């Protein structure tokens, strides 16, 4: 009997403590016990971070539009390598930036109007987007070098198999060919990578379907690998210039200034690589910074959410 009495007393104490604990963390009661100045401080801090995240979201949206529409941006790179990788990356930035703007607007309305339902919706969407954005930024840093290698390999495959081939039948090959001609002229490059002594720069065209199938009209490199139209026949190799490229394979002897024409001998990937690297770092850094601010905003949103009473 004595043991039974002690057990019941213990249960009563635990039950009382649990009830006290429940009342202490009840949302409505908690809202009443918090200092109003603390609540105002949380609201001010949250609004400040919402403003910062809004600016970051606009930056992400702007970067997405810039990387897509800029001259020789992601759209152009996607055409060069006949893959949608970089174009899709820009679209994801545009969609992500727009989504964060909408989530932030919901959060601002929830804070200003003190609606728990709006703030709760903001919390759920914010938790998902902040984690995804942070992870995407980290993966961007990890994968940037690997993506650059894949782009270089893809550029080589495209020149060998698609450049100048079946242009009257294949729309994709026309897009690829035009993209390569535009980039080679704009960046004064020829082929994929390497210098004048590389078999992967200007000389790669002599290993391509364009050359093997006789679609080159007697040229050894495209016209876009040459500066202007002066001595274009010598530059493309349609007229022989003994001892000089492009008819003479690498390694090349002599200085290019003595050739009597201008053949671009630097590979286009070597010219584009700094741009690809810089773009990847910009995207990754922006995503991580905005993601960190969103995580802080998430904590503040939870704190404010717990102070708001339920409205009927």
The one-digit pLDDT tens for each residue of the chain (312 residues) are 444 444 334 434 433 444 333 333 344 444 445 577 877 888 888 888 889 989 988 988 888 888 777 655 566 666 666 555 666 767 778 888 898 999 999 888 888 887 788 888 888 888 888 877 877 777 667 666 667 777 888 899 999 999 999 998 888 899 889 989 988 998 899 999 999 999 999 999 999 999 999 999 999 999 999 997 778 999 999 988 888 899 888 988 777 777 878 999 999 999 888 877 777 788 888 888 888 888 888 888 888 888 776 654
Q: In the chain, how many domains are there?
A: 2
Q: Is the domain of 49 the same as that of 124?
A: yes
DSSP E strands, the chain? none
70 plus 119 within the same structural domain? yes
CB-CB contact of 228 with 262 (8 Å): yes
Domain co-membership, 34 together with 140: yes
**Which of 37-58 are b and which e, b meaning 16 or more Cβ less than 10 Å from the residue's Cβ?**
eebeebbebbbebbebbbebbe
* 95 and 241 both lie in a single domain: no
The CA distance from 191 to 62, in Å, is 32
From the list 301, 305, 312, the residue with the least C-alpha distance to 116 is: 305
Integer Rg of the chain from CA: 31
In a domain, 212, yes or no: yes
Confidence (pLDDT) at 243: 82
How far CA 61 is from CA of 56, 57, 109, 260, 298, in Å, comes to 9, 6, 21, 48, 21
pTM: 0.66
Alpha-carbon distance values, 31 to 48, 56, 216 (Å): 22, 31, 78
Burial of 197 (0-12, 13-18, 19+ CB in 10 A): middle
The predicted structure's pLDDT at residue 191: 95
DSSP-derived secondary structure for 195-223? -TT-TTTGGGGGGSHHHHTTTTTT-SS-G
Q: Has residue 96 been placed in a domain?
A: yes
Considering the domain architecture, whether residues 45 and 102 belong to the same structural domain is answered as yes
Residue at 175 is within a domain: no
Token couple for 97 = 């930036």
Q: Residues 161, 165, 166, 172: is their CA dihedral positive or negative? A: positive
The vertex-92 CA angle with 90 and 97, nearest 5°, equals 100
Return the half-sphere exposure (C-beta side, CA atoms, 13 A cut-off) of residue 285. 7
Closest to 194 in 3D by CA, of 141, 251, 148, 236: 251
**Pair (224, 254) in one structural domain:** yes
Q: Is 221 in the same domain as 278?
A: no
The answer as to whether 75 is a domain residue is: yes
Residue 78 lies inside a defined structural domain of this protein = yes
**Does a structural domain hold residue 14?**
no
Range of the domain at 240: 190-266
Same domain, 36 and 124: yes
- What are the helix (H) ranges across the chain? 2-24, 27-33, 36-69, 74-81, 85-113, 116-161, 171-187, 209-212, 232-236, 268-307
Residue 23 domain flag: no
DSSP designation for 226:
B
Q: Is residue 150 part of a domain?
A: no
DSSP state of 310: P
- Whole-angstrom distance, CA of residue 217 vs CA of residue 50: 61
| Together in a domain, 44 and 120 | yes
Same domain, 88 and 140: yes
Q: Which of 224, 193, 220, 186 is nearest to 206 (CA)?
A: 220
Instruction: Tell me the CA end-to-end span of the chain in Å, nearest whole number.
Output: 50
Helix (H, G, I), strand (E, B) or coil at 251: coil
pLDDT on residue 290: 87
Residues 298 and 247 occupy one common structural domain? no
Are residue 287 and residue 256 in the same domain, yes or no?
Answer: no
Q: What is the DSSP string of 57-78?
A: HHHHHHHHHHHHHSTTSHHHHH
């Amino acid at each position: 009997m004595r043991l039974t009495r002690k057990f019941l007393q213990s249960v009563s104490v635990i039950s009382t403590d649990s009830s006290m604990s429940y009342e202490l963390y009840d949302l409505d009661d908690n809202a009443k016990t918090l200092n109003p100045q603390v609540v105002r401080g949380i609201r001010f801090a949250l609004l400040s971070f919402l403003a910062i995240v809004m600016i970051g979201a606009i930056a992400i949206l702007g970067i997405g539009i810039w990387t897509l529409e800029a001259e020789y941006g992601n759209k152009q790179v996607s055409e060069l390598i006949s893959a949608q990788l970089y174009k899709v990356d820009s679209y994801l930035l545009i969609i992500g930036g727009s989504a964060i703007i909408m989530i932030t607007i919901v959060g601002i309305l929830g804070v200003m109007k003190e609606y728990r339902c709006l703030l709760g919706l903001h919390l759920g969407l914010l938790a998902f987007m902040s984690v995804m954005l942070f992870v995407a930024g980290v993966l961007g840093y990890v994968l940037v070098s690997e993506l650059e290698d894949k782009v270089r390999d893809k550029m080589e495959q495209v020149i060998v198999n698609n450049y100048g081939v079946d242009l009257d039948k294949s729309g994709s090959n026309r897009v690829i060919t035009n993209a390569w001609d535009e980039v080679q002229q704009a960046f004064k490059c020829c082929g994929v990578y390497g210098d004048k002594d590389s078999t992967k720069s200007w000389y790669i065209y002599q290993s391509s379907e364009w050359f093997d199938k006789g679609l080159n009209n007697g040229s050894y490199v495209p016209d876009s690998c040459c500066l202007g139209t002066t001595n274009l026949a010598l530059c493309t190799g349609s007229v022989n210039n003994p001892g000089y490229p492009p008819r003479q394979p690498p390694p090349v002897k002599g200085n290019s200034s003595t050739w009597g024409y201008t053949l671009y001998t630097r590979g286009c990937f070597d010219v584009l690589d700094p741009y690809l690297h810089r773009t990847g770092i910009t995207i990754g850094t922006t995503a991580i910074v905005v993601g960190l601010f969103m995580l802080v905003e998430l904590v503040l949103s939870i704190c404010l959410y717990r102070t708001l009473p339920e409205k009927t």
